[in-house]
Amino acid sequence: MSVPYSLEELTIGGKGSEQKASDKIPFIARPFVSERAKKTLDIVEKFVEEECIPADTVYQQQVGTSKQERWSAHPPIMDDLKKRAKELGIWNMFLPKNHFKEGAGFSNLEYGLMAEFLGKSTTASEATNCAAPDTGNMEVFAKYGTQEQKDRWLKPLLAGEIRSAFLMTEPEVASSDATNIALTITKEGDEYVLNGQKWWSSGAGDSRCQVYIVMGKSDPKNSNVYKQQSVIFVPFDTPGITIHRMLSVMGFDDAPHGHGHITFNNVRVPAANICLGEGRGFEVIQGRLGPGRIHHAMRSIGAAEKALEFFLARMNDPRKKPFGKQLYEHGVMLDRVAHSRIEIDASRLQVLNAAIMIDSKDAKFALKEIAEAKILVPDMLLKVLDRAMQAYGGAGVSQDTPLANMWAHGRTMRIVDGPDEVHAMQLGRNENKRGEYCLKKIEWQKKRAVEMAESYGMKKMDPLQLDREWSKVHDGKGNVDKAKL
Amino acid sequence: MSVPYSLEELTIGGKGSEQKASDKIPFIARPFVSERAKKTLDIVEKFVEEECIPADTVYQQQVGTSKQERWSAHPPIMDDLKKRAKELGIWNMFLPKNHFKEGAGFSNLEYGLMAEFLGKSTTASEATNCAAPDTGNMEVFAKYGTQEQKDRWLKPLLAGEIRSAFLMTEPEVASSDATNIALTITKEGDEYVLNGQKWWSSGAGDSRCQVYIVMGKSDPKNSNVYKQQSVIFVPFDTPGITIHRMLSVMGFDDAPHGHGHITFNNVRVPAANICLGEGRGFEVIQGRLGPGRIHHAMRSIGAAEKALEFFLARMNDPRKKPFGKQLYEHGVMLDRVAHSRIEIDASRLQVLNAAIMIDSKDAKFALKEIAEAKILVPDMLLKVLDRAMQAYGGAGVSQDTPLANMWAHGRTMRIVDGPDEVHAMQLGRNENKRGEYCLKKIEWQKKRAVEMAESYGMKKMDPLQLDREWSKVHDGKGNVDKAKL
Amino acid sequence: MSVPYSLEELTIGGKGSEQKASDKIPFIARPFVSERAKKTLDIVEKFVEEECIPADTVYQQQVGTSKQERWSAHPPIMDDLKKRAKELGIWNMFLPKNHFKEGAGFSNLEYGLMAEFLGKSTTASEATNCAAPDTGNMEVFAKYGTQEQKDRWLKPLLAGEIRSAFLMTEPEVASSDATNIALTITKEGDEYVLNGQKWWSSGAGDSRCQVYIVMGKSDPKNSNVYKQQSVIFVPFDTPGITIHRMLSVMGFDDAPHGHGHITFNNVRVPAANICLGEGRGFEVIQGRLGPGRIHHAMRSIGAAEKALEFFLARMNDPRKKPFGKQLYEHGVMLDRVAHSRIEIDASRLQVLNAAIMIDSKDAKFALKEIAEAKILVPDMLLKVLDRAMQAYGGAGVSQDTPLANMWAHGRTMRIVDGPDEVHAMQLGRNENKRGEYCLKKIEWQKKRAVEMAESYGMKKMDPLQLDREWSKVHDGKGNVDKAKL
Amino acid sequence: MSVPYSLEELTIGGKGSEQKASDKIPFIARPFVSERAKKTLDIVEKFVEEECIPADTVYQQQVGTSKQERWSAHPPIMDDLKKRAKELGIWNMFLPKNHFKEGAGFSNLEYGLMAEFLGKSTTASEATNCAAPDTGNMEVFAKYGTQEQKDRWLKPLLAGEIRSAFLMTEPEVASSDATNIALTITKEGDEYVLNGQKWWSSGAGDSRCQVYIVMGKSDPKNSNVYKQQSVIFVPFDTPGITIHRMLSVMGFDDAPHGHGHITFNNVRVPAANICLGEGRGFEVIQGRLGPGRIHHAMRSIGAAEKALEFFLARMNDPRKKPFGKQLYEHGVMLDRVAHSRIEIDASRLQVLNAAIMIDSKDAKFALKEIAEAKILVPDMLLKVLDRAMQAYGGAGVSQDTPLANMWAHGRTMRIVDGPDEVHAMQLGRNENKRGEYCLKKIEWQKKRAVEMAESYGMKKMDPLQLDREWSKVHDGKGNVDKAKL
């Protein structure tokens, strides 16, 4: 795939020519970004805008249209993009330097800035080997895997040769509360036997997906519900596993990646496949989810930026002049652009601050900030997308813009890794821990005010104080003795 | 005024004890804050929470209830607070170190962090000599004043001995567009003669207010509307000036500070009182408004934090158990706390980022970011306040909590220094400058996709492409030749 | 007070001349409105627009400014307005014809249409003897009073000679849940002794207020919490009653009417003053609240219409041209006008539908619809007001428009008679009763679909069904046997 | 297709058993509904709930999965449903009795109530021959068609034997403003020649679609832009017509109905095919759109009711207990149910009121009310759907509930027949016509207030009036002569 000419020609000298990615890093985040990261960021931007975004539609076409084609597709353009990304040195940027030696040596913040650009394309994350769920899965293998497991799965994952899935959510329970997860993992001899079903197993449709990381109940009677669950590695071709069907998202099947509904019928794996140890499932998923949420959030920021670019493009399309004015001459449209700009910028800072906290310690330390970003960003993205869609009219909901697909994907962000409501409830409870202190402080301040008033020889009182006995100032006919008021 | 005991007793060891202000600085902002600023910040917090907030109600009481009392009041507690603030070394923190030698030597960011705490009290800003409009006015004198003007007005202002007002807005025009300002400033000999009226002249009610900085039209025929306006210094007692009446804000008169409606009838001032030069009014106000918006925004963040503290206190008030549960057991309430937390935190980052940009260069450089904060913050504040008010029921709208007064003040923040809509329009237009580039880029990417598809031997096509002539595949009776589809 | 000329001159022939009130009744409500009501409605409109609205500011001025004046005021213009209303035959329209012989003979719907206009003025409701809380209190006396009580209190109330208050809410408990009400009503001989405190006792400030209808706990140990409360009539000048202070609403004291905080210290009233009987407090308040909420809601609709009129007036004020265009040329403003129009119209229909249901049976029958209106209307009103305020800038929050005062009053509508959240919770629970049925129905429909599919020889299946065992179709290297998919 | 058992068994006696449709008609609308319509309404409800909703999934399955299948499908279940609907006497209910003799004899209001139920199913509208765009097209033929045209197209349309499409929107212009429509209709001899392209030609994919009603420019130079457009009837198989491709809606292709992108290349039709006459295109579409918008709106109300039923079902699903509580025990969920209930009910009244106005005269008479419903209803529907989707988590966005498809369809309702913004702008402008009157009235009322004040011997004044000359009351040192204030 040659790149005969580039976007730069467009940017040089023209009105509205754009700054490079590294020049647009928010000022407040700059002390945290190395020169090397800035250079890489600019390469990522160029790769995404010039190669991945055009490739997005080619990839879709290569996936095909029939069910058979779609679920066995392996679009050749993806291999070319991967090759190119490796040449450009933009590969595995997601593994943070302070915890993993296997990655490209960036911090969560630095990768976050890159992930924003990856989020503008449907192919870019996979092309740079930074696509979920492989990213989180690689972290699990790198952190908790044995050498053998690393050789078998982590190595080819890091090389982008195979893919993986994370199987947690289940259709028959409220799995937004992970203690409800019900698939059984029962020890029999030196094997574990799995029975149950999983859905929203993202990536399970891919013909290169070779391993499932499965969460399930190994000790259902443990009095500590957080110790009932284990995580185990399961090869995709273990007998007893059936991919029952694929789930659609707002009408999109997301092939060939897809979201599987998978049944486990006496699926047997070696006991050695257990991850970290029996009953330690919660430990594994908690370590996994934090940075992943930041990645999702930053990609969503990028999606929002792309939506705004489409909005702006439409506003300036000379063919579109309803009522004799271009859209940018309609005040309602400018107002929506402005609010989109504000909401995107505020959300980005929120995510970057969370990323810096993870970098400074770990994801647990940034629990509150991650939850804030997790709730704030998808809500923002959907609003920005909706405005852009509306500006496009019919084109905005159709295949002629990427907006509808982005909306569908963005909508799931309010659900994946726990629905907004669960995070808000936990955030609310956490904040409420301050309640007793606030109550005491306010009471203290009131008492202090009374003392202060007394020190000035005043009674602490309300300006609307009356302390009148009506019967003494009021004659019953509407006449009042004003002096006594 | 003695301080016999302190809030610290409350914070030590107790459940929900709070971190110090310097420990709560967002991680992303920390590289920009000096150790000295952190120490000062903690002193400001302690002063506000322990002395100013209790003083707020005492101050209100000392203002009195009748019109005569209210508009001549000079509450003694304010002088005591000022004395105390000077002792603590927290005075004039608002003057940024990179532009003014007269201030306390902090950056806009550092002062912003302090202003958050000042915003939790109605007395704290004046007590530390950081109250609007004096702050902006002192900047004007320091930047543009002659030595004589500085001696006469800047010196006593910096010492907190007199106050000042900024007279810009007018009742008879749409002064959200400053080119409409109509008060005339006419040169006659070595004097300027002012005729017209001003309103929302905040601070003009104060009995110590000695100088008005007045904007008006000196050259109404100048073809450049931005050169028609001048700014001039006017002593409060110049003959011809009448304070016609005071304006209320949602029912509050804000005495003794107040918001004056002032008429000018042949008011004569020496020509030397012109600021910076005739026709340079826009220059003066533009320099003045930027940092002021950041101050307002950060104080609003503090107000929102205070509202949230009141909300949390109410949630934990053991006397308030509707339907057998305390408010914190009601999910709707926790959800609102969570969203308040998120919105406050995102807004703060937005303001701090703008402050850092001002510090790195100047307010013009941060034009976009200041406008974003200007719009985002008051909207957030009003939402947080509204939720807190609702949790309190009747108490929330009454004098028993500071919430109603904070709401009234917060509501004006969507209007002062230009209504939201004007800022959004400008932000939208500014963003729209990118439109042409976005349009070109998207078109380029589409063409590039076609080339890519061709390089794979594919026609670039839509998966829902049909290109069928119905007459050839359709027999008119509902039967279709599928092969031709 | 003469009426030398009228608004009609304005309406005749001019562009934008308005229809009469009776011509603006929503079509869907017309079958329910008698000709007599239509005529009265037009008289009410004319009275409000031509006499009451101008009188509003005169009334405010007659109330005075000092605390002494304000809490003893009895503005003479009110007596003149009342006289005039009686002459016009618009008096006591609120008492519905199907339940009370004492009223003017209109239905709740018909009065609702009139109440809309009363809501545009601060004096009109009292001027026509349709002001809360007297309206609800008169209903209580008419329904449950003895002849003696009627002679003593109902008669002068119906004549507009005295006023009354309803004392329910308390500061020390969560009285949004009325079972928490704590003031004690203890029988001692042939007297009841009251101890406790009440607040938000609206109307208690009026110098003509002669009777309090008080709710309290007479049987605190009753196992049925709904039988613990009683309602009792208490003359205002009974020894032991102190009006402790008046509460402000967003800075407004609402004098001379006011909202009292009242303490009861061994207040003794004859046993005969009990209303309906001991333990029947809930019965009394439930009968009282339904129509009252409709009255509030319809007045709020009128307030919203007035806000929109102010908005429209501002949009067309030739003096106000920011950026060279009048406000009506700014798209954002037109958009807000449109949404205001929509929201007002939808809300009105909701209230009228509830009124018709009350008319057709009683308030209990319209429980759901009243709650819907109770929540919907204030939210709408505040939105419309906020837009109008914003269009006015500073004038919108000041005394120069009635908007700020209307907002303050509107804000309390989300709290009085129970906060929104309580009504929403009950509405949600009520709706949830259908949940089990819905669940069963949806399951039945799914089963039915399977049967139908079978009747066509089809297996009921999902179009994304796969049922593939990966190990059999997949070679582990990314190659898939398509035939088996 | 047999109906062996019915939903009634479910409704009898059970907790939460539902009222019949005719019992749920809002009280305010009842005077407008005949007994015959009530009976038909109950039949429609039963047909939809028991036969159509189960058939929806069977229909989907019969459409198939490959492109070839989907675009030639003619699902047999549809013919069975149609047969059944005819047996039940529920056929062509949409043609209003006051304008068309061909219909079932109901008013717009009566049909509106039925359309609500049709909107709960994807098959019901077509099954009862009440599906867009055929409904509007039949109105066009009935109103404006020649006898020959009626015989050829109206007759089989009324019998449900063929289908039709309405071709108006175009991809290359801003066709939200219909004056921009650009397809040319040029007279050559006794033929018209069409050149151009159309998209969003809904129904064009159906293999039984035999006629296109096409709008285009016949007189591009007419100085009156509203006379440039004509409407013409075009047989589907006229040479030169190519269905270029089908458009997707948020990922759904809506096969076999579909939304076509169609090109016209020298398409020749007899001159007699012109509708109503050359240059009368606007007349045709204006007559057509009004009732159609009411139909869409009422179907959307039904969709919202269905979404709420799904929400309620989920809340009561015993398998779904996050954090130990069923969803109906979570306050946030109940709150959302309540707000959904309120918003649905208010929207329905708005639509019914518009329908009654059309019935009382015509669509032009109800212009404002139709626009209000057009904007209000889809916004409400999307909110209700979003809440239901969120309650379902992953299932809510997948094929396991109808919610995602309903959302996609609902989203287009903010665009079809003109985007919200266009309707809001027109509504705003229309309302603004009152502006001048409002301005005059408010000014009159102010003057009147001054006269009134004078009649009481008062100066009309502001309570915050001061009129003080500071220099006379103020000594410059903060001391004020109170007596002069």
Which pLDDT does position A6 carry in this prediction? 58
A199: chain C residues, CB-CB within 8 Å? none
Which pLDDT does position D401 carry in this prediction? 97
Backbone angles phi, psi at A175, to 5 degrees: -80, 5
- Between A368-372, C478-482, D45-49, the lowest mean confidence (pLDDT) is in C478-482
d(CA D6, CA C451): 13
Instruction: Tell which residue, B90, B86, B82, B81, has the closest CA to residue B43.
Output: B90
Which pLDDT does position C97 carry in this prediction? 87
- CB contacts under 8 A, A 70-89 vs B, are 76-77
Q: pLDDT tens-digit profile of B333-369?
A: 999 999 999 999 999 999 999 999 999 998 899 999 9
Show the tokens assigned to A68: 């058979």
d(CA C243, CA C253): 15
Quote the Cα angle for A245-A250-A252, to 5°: 60
Exposure string (b/e) for B234-270, b if CB count within 10 Å is 16 or more?
Answer: bbbbbebbbbbbbbbbbbbbbbbbbbbbbbbeebebe
Confidence of residue B15 (pLDDT cuts 50, 70, 90): very low
In the A/C pair of chains, how many CB contacts fall below 8 A?
A: 119
The arithmetic mean of pLDDT across residues C410-436, rounded, is 95
Which pLDDT does position D478 carry in this prediction? 79
A247–D398 CB contact, under 8 Å = yes
Beta-strand relationship, B465-468 and D241-246: antiparallel
In terms of DSSP H, where are the helices of A361-416?
367-392, 394-397, 403-412
- Between B10-14, B384-388, D97-101, D212-216, the lowest mean confidence (pLDDT) is in B10-14
Show the tokens assigned to D470: 């500071």
Backbone angles phi, psi at C198, to 5 degrees: -135, 155
Confidence of residue D474 (pLDDT cuts 50, 70, 90): confident
User: Packing angle between helix B53-63 and helix A435-455, nearest 10 degrees?
Assistant: 40
Contact A385/A311 with Cβ under 8 angstroms? no
Which pLDDT does position C287 carry in this prediction? 77
Q: pLDDT tens-digit profile of A322-340?
A: 888 999 999 999 999 999 9
Q: pLDDT tens-digit profile of D57-103?
A: 999 999 998 888 899 999 999 999 999 999 999 999 999 988 788 88
User: Packing angle between helix C435-455 and helix D53-63, nearest 10 degrees?
Assistant: 40
**Residue of B397, B411, B413, B425 to mutate when probing chain C, most C C-beta within 10 A:** B397
Which pLDDT does position B177 carry in this prediction? 87
d(CA D337, CA D346): 14
* CA-based radius of gyration for chain A: 28
Instruction: Check pLDDT > 70 for residue D457.
Output: yes
The arithmetic mean of pLDDT across residues B272-297, rounded, is 91
Instruction: Check pLDDT > 60 for residue C2.
Output: no
- Residue C351 per-residue DSSP state: H
Which pLDDT does position B131 carry in this prediction? 97
User: Packing angle between helix B331-360 and helix B281-315, nearest 10 degrees?
Assistant: 150
Which pLDDT does position C7 carry in this prediction? 59
Which pLDDT does position A3 carry in this prediction? 40
Which pLDDT does position C291 carry in this prediction? 84
D418: CB partners within 8 A, 6+ apart: D176, D374
Instruction: Check pLDDT > 60 for residue B134.
Output: yes
d(CA D336, CA D339): 5
Q: Torsion angle, CA of C391/C394/C398/C402, rounded to 10 degrees? A: -10
Which pLDDT does position D9 carry in this prediction? 56
d(CA D304, CA D323): 28
Instruction: Check pLDDT > 90 for residue D328.
Output: yes
In percent, how much of chain A has pLDDT > 90? 82
Average pLDDT over chain B reads: 92
Which pLDDT does position C146 carry in this prediction? 95
Q: pLDDT tens-digit profile of A54-98?
A: 999 999 999 998 888 899 999 999 999 999 999 999 999 999 987
d(CA D8, CA D64): 33
Confidence of residue C124 (pLDDT cuts 50, 70, 90): very high
A476 in reach of chain B (CB within 8 A): no
Contact A198/A262 with Cβ under 8 angstroms? yes
Q: Which neighbouring-strand residues pair with C261?
A: C245
Instruction: Check pLDDT > 80 for residue D476.
Output: no
Which pLDDT does position D100 carry in this prediction? 84
C460, HSE (Cβ side, Cα atoms, 13 Å): 17
Q: pLDDT tens-digit profile of D343-354?
A: 999 999 999 999
Show the tokens assigned to C56: 């509003």
Confidence of residue A477 (pLDDT cuts 50, 70, 90): confident
Q: pLDDT tens-digit profile of B78-109?
A: 999 999 999 999 999 999 987 788 889 999 99
Q: pLDDT tens-digit profile of C179-208?
A: 999 999 999 999 999 999 999 999 999 999
In percent, how much of chain C has pLDDT > 70? 96
Peptide bond between residue B133 and the one before it cis (omega within 30 degrees of 0)? yes
Q: pLDDT tens-digit profile of B18-56?
A: 789 999 999 999 999 999 999 999 999 999 999 999 999
The arithmetic mean of pLDDT across residues C222-243, rounded, is 96
C1 in reach of chain D (CB within 8 A): yes
d(CA C326, CA C334): 11
Q: How far is A295 from chain C (nearest CA, A)?
A: 27
C316 in reach of chain D (CB within 8 A): yes
Cβ burial, residue A23 (10 Å; 0-12/13-18/19+): exposed
Which pLDDT does position D65 carry in this prediction? 87
Confidence of residue A296 (pLDDT cuts 50, 70, 90): very high
d(CA D46, CA D26): 19
Q: Torsion angle, CA of C89/C90/C91/C94, rounded to 10 degrees? A: 140
Q: pLDDT tens-digit profile of C255-277?
A: 999 999 999 999 999 999 999 99
d(CA D51, CA D66): 27
Confidence of residue B466 (pLDDT cuts 50, 70, 90): confident
B477: CB partners within 8 A, 6+ apart: D208
Show the tokens assigned to A340: 């989109």
Average pLDDT over chain D reads: 92
Show the tokens assigned to B475: 């027999």
**Residue of D247, D335, D400, D421 to mutate when probing chain A, most A C-beta within 10 A:** D421
C395 in reach of chain D (CB within 8 A): no
Which pLDDT does position C484 carry in this prediction? 79
Which pLDDT does position D147 carry in this prediction? 95
Specify the 3-state DSSP secondary structure of A106. Answer: strand
Domains of chain A, with CATH numbers? 162-282 (2.40.110.10)
CA distances for D230 relative to B255, D4, D187, D269, D280, angstroms: 68, 52, 12, 14, 5
Question: pTM higher than 0.90, yes or no?
Answer: yes
Which pLDDT does position A13 carry in this prediction? 37
CA atoms C100, C104, C107, C113: torsion sign: negative
Instruction: Check pLDDT > 90 for residue C250.
Output: yes
Q: How far is B203 from chain A (nearest CA, A)?
A: 22
Confidence of residue B290 (pLDDT cuts 50, 70, 90): confident
The arithmetic mean of pLDDT across residues D4-31, rounded, is 71
Which pLDDT does position D97 carry in this prediction? 87
DSSP string across C30-57 = GGG--HHHHHHHHHHHHHIIIIIHHHHH
| Cβ-nearest to D471 among B71, B237, B474 | B237
Q: pLDDT tens-digit profile of C212-221?
A: 999 999 999 9
Q: pLDDT tens-digit profile of B229-266?
A: 999 999 999 999 999 999 999 999 999 999 999 999 99
In terms of DSSP H, where are the helices of A48-163?
53-63, 67-70, 76-88, 108-118, 124-127, 134-144, 147-149, 155-158
C390 in reach of chain B (CB within 8 A): yes
Instruction: Check pLDDT > 90 for residue D483.
Output: no
A248–D250 CB contact, under 8 Å = no
Show the tokens assigned to B405: 């007064």
Q: Quote ipTM for the complex.
A: 0.94
The arithmetic mean of pLDDT across residues C337-354, rounded, is 98
Instruction: Check pLDDT > 50 for residue C5.
Output: no
Which residue has better confidence, B481 or A191?
A: A191
Q: pLDDT tens-digit profile of D200-249?
A: 999 999 999 999 999 999 999 999 999 999 999 999 999 999 999 999 99
- Residue D242 per-residue DSSP state: E
C174–B319 CB contact, under 8 Å = yes
DSSP string across C135-171 = HHHHHHHHHH--HHHIIIIIHHHHTTSSEEEEE---S
C441–D55 CB contact, under 8 Å = no
Instruction: Tell which residue, C372, C428, C361, has the closest CA to residue D348.
Output: C372
Contact D142/D132 with Cβ under 8 angstroms? no
Contact B375/B420 with Cβ under 8 angstroms? yes
D251–A405 CB contact, under 8 Å = yes
Beta-strand relationship, B209-217 and B229-235: antiparallel
